[in-house]
Structure 1
Amino acid sequence: MKIERTQKKKRLITHVISGLMWLVIILLNGVLFTPAFNFITSFNHIAFLQFVLPLTVVFIIVIATLSYGWSFYNKKRFGKLNRRTMPDEVTLEDLEEAIPERNETLMELQSQKWTNIG
């Protein structure tokens, strides 16, 4: 059926785009933050490093705590609601329930490349 093929194509396209975007984000972070990391490791002022490194650790702990609290709040609020799943494929039986047409008409509508309504 035409609807099943388009659903599978959409799912595949979604996964490919998501994977490519994660790759771009990881590469971009590597390009942007490598010079900053090199600066910190080659910096000679011990007093500066003694101030910045603990501050960075505290900042990371605060961000991790806020993220965990946010996820806990969302889990309590929405429960087991999962919105990140693709919808099920449309079958001919689903169409027959939703549209009061004959089986032949539904097969014809699915097999046509263009459908003029009205």
Structure 2
Amino acid sequence: MIINSKQSKPRKIIDILLTFFGWLFLALFLYNLITYFEGDLDFTFIELNLANANSILLITVLVVIVSAAFLSWWSSYNKRKYGPLKRRTFPPQTSQKELAEYFELTEEEIRQIQSNQYIERN
């Protein structure tokens, strides 16, 4: 399903360009992956020593900081954009008369069921 929304011309052009470059990047990445892939894989990058452990830790901390900053920005954006909206409405409370009609019981039986902690079923 394609969702069409009203967009300004510059925004639509930017959207088309970003989509095009995204697909181009993916195609080039897959092309390079296929053409430069050799049968013998070298797993020496998995071996940890003190020199690359520091760089792995630094990259991990950097990724955590960037992720936290992005989530913080996204949270404040959502709060500013959607915070003042009051879209939730709760249904009115159901009366004992409505419950009695629905379950085909008397109102006294409904009151008794609601007040008892243990209900024995016959």
TM-score range, shorter chain: 0.3 to 0.5
TM-score (norm 1): 0.38
